[in-house]
Every structure is written in C-alpha cells, then in structure tokens.
Amino acid sequence: MQPIEILANEHRLIRQALDSFSLATNKMEQGINPPVEFFEKAVDFARTFIDKRHHFKEEYLMFGRLAERHQSELDAQIEALRHQHDHGREFISEMANALDGYAKGKDAQVTIMIENLASLVTLYRHHIHREDHVFFPMVENDLSQEELDDLGGLFAKEDEKSEHGTLERMQRLADELVTLL
C-alpha cells in the first residue's frame, strides 16, 4: 500500500472519532455531559492512534524524508502541519489534566473539556482536509515512485513494531466513543 493511501485511510478513522467528539461537544453545550469514560477513551485514542501512530509516520518518517530535499516548496506546509500537531497535543493534554475534575462535576473542568474538544475537532478537520487535498498531492508530485515505495516500506515496518491488534483496538475504541454518548 502506498504511504499516502495509508495516511488517508488512517484519516477516515480519525474523522470517525472526530464525529463523536463533535457530538459530545454539542451535547455538552446543551448541558448533557458524557460520562468520564468517554473522555478517557478519547484521550487514549488521540494519544495512541493519532499521535503515536499517525503523526509519528507523518512527522518522523514522511517529513524527515522530505526535509532531506532542502529548500522544498513543501517546507512551509510541513512547518504549518507540525504546528497544528503541536496544538492538537496541547488540547489533548488539557483534556487529560481535566479528567479528575470533570469526573467530580467541577464546572471549570467541564468548560475546559468543551473548549478543548471543540478546538480539537475544528483543528483536526481543517488539518486533515489540508493534508488530503493540498499536502499529500504535493508530496506525490515531489517524490519519485521509488521514494514513495521506500516510505511505504518504512510505514509498514513502523506498523509491525506496534502492539499486535492496535489498529483493531483503535477501531473498536472509535466505535465505543459514539455508544458512550
């Protein structure tokens, strides 16, 4: 499988989770707070799948390969995408830090959850659209087929390193998010 196809497939699973995050935000704005388990699973999904699996492939494997090209037109895109990844991590950290207070029904932590969840949804939807429709086509035009094949091989090796069944567990986790609402 080609690296762009792998990342685009992973985006589908991320979008599924984002749909649940958006639904949770809407409910919270109506005064209906999801169980704390929803947020525990959301943080787990974001840290395990989005950051450790998906963003690792982008930042360390793809961006690293592209950085070897020096002064590419992709440099500004890469910088912006890294910046968005960092912001996403900040939103997830804020949510993780607010879990205990949220579980106790503290208003401040409920507000933190709403704000960071809504911000995460907005950021990642824009981010995924940008990658799928702007950045990935640029990468496909910039790298040769041999370079894309090599990158696909690196992605496959990275997936082999992850715990057996991680992708399936993350799919189940994304499915569970909506049932908790």
Q: CA–CA separation, 150 vs 141, rounded Å?
A: 15
> What pLDDT is attached to residue 111?
96
pLDDT(103) > 90: yes
Domain extents for the chain? 3-179
With contact defined as beta carbons under 8 Å apart, do 24 and 118 qualify?
A: no
Give, in order, the Cα–Cα distances in Å from 120 to each of 8, 133, 141, 161.
Answer: 19, 20, 30, 28
Q: CA–CA separation, 85 vs 127, rounded Å?
A: 9
pLDDT(101) > 90: yes
Percent of the chain with pLDDT over 70: 98
With contact defined as beta carbons under 8 Å apart, do 142 and 3 qualify?
A: no
pLDDT tier, 71 (very low <50, low <70, confident <90, very high otherwise): low
> What pLDDT is attached to residue 70?
65
pLDDT(163) > 80: no
Q: What is the pLDDT of residues 53-68, one digit of tens each?
A: 999 999 999 998 888 8
pLDDT tier, 160 (very low <50, low <70, confident <90, very high otherwise): confident
Q: CA–CA separation, 165 vs 44, rounded Å?
A: 15
Q: Does domain 3-179 have CATH number 1.10.1740.10?
A: no
**Which pTM value belongs to this model?**
0.92
